[in-house]
Amino acid sequence: ILVAGKQLPTDRMEELEHRAEWLDEPLDRIIRRENAVPQTELLDAIGRVTGIPVCRLGRLTLDDATLTAVPAKLADHYRIMPLSLDAGTLTVASYRVYDVAEEDQLRVVIGHPLRWVLAPSRDISESIKHYYGIGISTLLASDGADTEDTDKQDAGAVVRFVEEILT
């Protein structure tokens, strides 16, 4: 889609695909890290491929049930923002698509079926700061890890985090 839409030349896309394969990382993470296309264009392309809606968050009005469905530590760690809780299903904004294992972990920890929307990472960060408090990353950082770049965290860290939430 990015090549067909002329956002990326074919040779650049092939280079990014090879890098993703070599590093064993999803292509969208490589594209995002390399700033190969603007994030909004990448999100639009991912949305077209996956069928996940894309939105800009702006100023949200959240009720208490929606906000408390995702604890601050979880929102900050996964860089997600709850948007609505309707008929037991929680709509959550993310800047990326989570793999099945991560999504299952989130569903279990949150305790609701999840519906996803994609939003720019800046919108999510600003919403987290607004609703959960400025400096939440610093407040919640327990190991000094960079909470802004969850893509680099290993699976063991995710499992330890989920276990911490459950206990």
Per-residue pLDDT of 113-133, as tens digits, reads: 999 999 998 899 888 888 887
Instruction: Collapse the DSSP code of 94 into the 3-class scheme (helix H, G, I; strand E, B; otherwise coil) and give the result.
Output: strand
For residue 141, pLDDT over 70 is answered with no
Confidence of residue 135 (pLDDT cuts 50, 70, 90): low
Residues 22-63: tens digit of each pLDDT:
888 888 888 888 878 888 888 888 888 888 899 888 767 788
Task: Report the distance separating Cα 148 and Cα 125, nearest Å.
Answer: 9
Q: Looking at this protein, which amino acid is placed at residue 30?
A: I
DSSP one-letter code for 150: G
Cα end-to-end span (Å), the chain = 43
